[in-house]
Chain A
Amino acid sequence: MAELVLRNVYKQYENTEKSWFRKKKAQKLDFAVKNLSFSCNDGEFIGILGPSGCGKTTTLRMLAGLETVTDGDIYIGETRINNLLPKDRNIGLAFEDYALYPPLTVYDNLAFNMRAKKMSNEEIQKAIDYVAPLLKVDDLLDQKPPSLSGGQKQRVNIARAIVRRPKLLLLDEPLSHLDGKMRQGMRHEIKRMHHEIKCTTIIVTHDQMEAMSLADRILIMKDGELQQMGTPMEVYDNPENEFVAGFIGEPPMNLLPSVIQKEEGTLFFTFENSPLRVEVPKRYLGILESGKKVTLGVRPMDVMVAKQTTAGSYIPIAIYENLGDERRISVRVGDSLMNMITTDNVVYERGQEVQLEFYAERTHLFDPETGKRIRAN
């Protein structure tokens, strides 16, 4: 019904700066969004994730009709919406700042758009009765925005966006104004709300944790281009490139520049200015040869202190941290720090020399030039 499809969408802003004596020719800027195509199914929750300036908010604004589309098509269901006015698109929008009407009560804020559409009072009442408990604003209906906390305001804001049952709900960084604890709770509420109304939802965020925990699928963007799209675990387990690998996961994946060297018939990953040597797992043997440069990616969970003596070299622990929930070790590999999360109950000391063991199956290789993933045969 409300499947959303983007086909080869481009957005280019124009710098239309004018001076008082002469109209300057509009200057074309770089593409803010480049050749973006994706589709999301009815009822799906999509997260658009990326650092600032990656084009994620521009994409959302094009969907909402707040920006024109330079090239390409956007469809909701069968309808091409490129040239529809925002009000005709049947879209619910919630921005990071709440934009509630301060002199109106929460009830009137929720009812505002419906009254503008000349809906009857009974219909309005019915719609609000349905939405208010979903976002736990039913106790707040008589209050006015200035007396609400940030989290409550955002709940009202989202309730207002969904009260008219839009085909598509767009959320632009809805949690970034809230503090840590409240953000966590709000995340749960949004997820429950989506589970209840099953409205196709797109959330834009720069916080990978937020995207991972909320979305059915995540789009990762950088410099206006789509880097990868997949379920949270797909992008976590199989990142397409170095950027995605480093962006998803906390603490981030270790990405170590390495050179392959052959010693006594065995291939090793070696690292500049470091005694560390890691045996090349069997699955990579067909594609690597001595002298090749690769970036070795390994998540902090997937490298550990070896229990038994291995062929690898000893390396001193640079940092040992006990964070209560988990313990972390870091070692110096050349100029960078490699992080590990330990699960054993051994107390390590700074400077202690240990051998490392890598989960061969969970290592990733990237081309140091292009950043693209190198696949094992």
Chain B
Amino acid sequence: MASIALENITKAFGKINALDDVSLEVKDNEFFVLFGPAGAGKTTLLKTIAGVEFPQKGLVKIDGEIVNHKEPMHRNISMVFESYALYPHMTVYDNIASPMRSKLYKKDEAHIRRQVERVTKMMQIDHLWERRPSQLSNGQRQRVAIGRCLVREPNAFLMDEPLAHLDAKLRHHMRGELKEMQSSFDTTTIYVTHDYMEAMSLADRIAVLNLGKIEQLGTPMEMYYTPNNEFVARLFGEPEINIFDGELTERSGELAVRAFGQAALLPVAPDAAKVLRGGEHRKVRVGIRGNDISFSFDEVPGWLRGSVYVNEPIGNKVILVADVGGVRLSLVVPNDTRAKIDQPVFLSLNMQHAIFFCAEKGTYIVRSNAAQHVSDAPGTKEEG
């Protein structure tokens, strides 16, 4: 158990900055997720912490101590690999015992037995001691791989996309397994992924990386409800958040948004209006999620008019993409909805849940009731 701090880390491969002045602090015992698209620098950051890559600038600290020049093996950090890398010819017991039989961490057999007992009980694999990896299910193998890392009581636990190579169905299952045993880790964990569901499900805090820079650092709910910019907003949620251009206008003393070149105005919640009025914004970008749009195939006065671009039945719901004045809006509709391509559709946006971004920079300005969404929103309570 330890806290990990990175200060102004810069790492370049040739001319390309893989990491550009990255600073972050992972608290003791935290489950911290590094999240971002391919090429964002996630794995490079993880390797820097492990000591496999050396930063050109900046400090890596473990529990306050600078470890830049410590060899990986002296940092007491363990890493779970995507392929689990279990020894195929060893039993589960021997696999888990293996780190304690290495020269560096040599322990006596009685101690090893106690440790293996503790870890296998925690991972619920104590009945599998005599099995070899080939006789285990995928979930059990993952548990063995994690157990092997935990047995040493490392300072921190690094996981690089441990579920990425699995198919969708298995990945879903393994995420559940991981989430379930997460609370028993009792170790600082840094987890790299490009799957937003994994990030939201597992993380205490998330760092969103893009092109070697941190775009946002915060809890999953902060990412989802108050993203720092359009880039972060687009990463979380399926279907992707709709973001469109809007123009602020006053309508009988109330602030509203004109958009899609249509007569229908979109009302702005009073608390958001206050911030928007104060900021000299005339043009804004408005973000609204697919769940926050209502639809009707019959004309409703005051609603936006559009046409069905495509509709995609995906089982428990239908994703309907509407073309509204040349802008595509995706909305989630019930799975018994039938729509024809190009048929007219009428939409109402729940502007209480809209997120306003700066028109020039794409940065976050305001959303109504932000504090409540982030802190009291259902599901934000700490578990356990």
Contacts and interface: CB of A to CB of B under 8 A. Distances in A.
A323 B200 contact: yes
A188 B291 CA distance: 19
Contacts of B201: 321-323
Contacts of A300: 316
B17 interface: no
A319 B381 CA distance: 14
Given A212-B313, A250-B314, A320 B379 contact: yes
Interface in A269-306: 299-301
B176 A322 contact: no
A184 B173 CA distance: 24
Given A322-B379, A327-B379, A250 B38 contact: no
Interface of A is mostly: mixed
A50 to B, nearest CB: 12
14 contacts: A187-B310, A191-B312, A233-B313, A236-B315, A246-B169, A250-B314, A318-B180, A319-B180, A321-B200, A322-B220, A322-B377, A330-B176, A337-B173, A349-B383
Nearest to B342: A195
A337 B177 contact: yes
B354 interface: no
A45 to B, nearest CB: 12
Contacts of A251: 172
A185 B239 CA distance: 11
A241 to B, nearest CB: 16
Contacts of B177: 337
A202 B375 CA distance: 48
Given A187-B312, A321-B201, A327-B379, A252 B384 contact: no
Interface residues of B, number: 46
Given A246-B169, A250-B314, A318-B180, 16 more contacts: A184-B240, A192-B310, A212-B312, A212-B314, A232-B315, A233-B335, A249-B315, A252-B169, A318-B176, A319-B180, A320-B379, A322-B220, A323-B201, A325-B291, A347-B378, A350-B183
A360 B381 CA distance: 32
B238 interface: yes
B240 A181 contact: yes
Contacts of B378: 322, 327, 345-347
A213 interface: yes
Given A299-B316, A324-B220, A324-B224, A347 B310 contact: no
Interface in A323-353: 323-325, 327, 330, 337, 339, 341, 345-347, 349-351
B277 interface: no
A64 interface: no
A253 to B, nearest CB: 10
A251 B174 CA distance: 12
A248 interface: yes
A250 B310 contact: no
A195 B316 contact: no
A209 interface: yes
A17 interface: no
B172 A213 contact: no
Contacts of B321: 188
B32 interface: no
Interface string A165-208: 00000000000000101001001100110010000000000010
Interface string B328-345: 000010010000010000
B312 A192 contact: no
Contacts of B197: 323
B319 interface: yes
B33 interface: no
Nearest to A322: B379
Interface string A93-129: 0000000000000000000000000000000000000
Interface of B: 37-38, 168-169, 172-173, 176-177, 179-180, 183, 197, 200-201, 220-221, 224-225, 234, 236-240, 289-291, 309-310, 312-316, 319, 321, 332, 335, 341, 377-381, 383-384
Contacts of A179: 37-38
Contact of B384 (A236, A250, A349): A349
Nearest to A344: B378
B379 A301 contact: no
Contacts of A325: 237-238, 289-291, 332
Interface residues of A, number: 45
A324 B313 contact: no
Nearest to A185: B328
A175 B191 CA distance: 28
Nearest to A233: B313
Contact of B312 (A213, A248, A324): A213
Contact of A324 (B179, B180, B183, B236): B236
A351 B321 CA distance: 39
A318 B182 CA distance: 11
B168 to A, nearest CB: 6
B329 to A, nearest CB: 12
A89 B377 CA distance: 59
B99 to A, nearest CB: 28
A56 to B, nearest CB: 15
A109 B300 CA distance: 48
B175 to A, nearest CB: 8
Contacts of A327: 378-379
Contacts of A339: 172, 176
Nearest to B312: A213
Contact of B200 (A184, A232, A236, A322): A322
Contacts of A346: 378
With a 10 A CB-CB cut-off, give which of A212, A299, A321, A350 has the most chain B CB atoms. A321
Contacts of B239: 184
A233 B38 CA distance: 34
Nearest to A332: B180
Contacts of A213: 312-314, 319
A28 B334 CA distance: 49
Contact of A191 (B180, B234, B310, B315): B310
B172 A252 contact: yes
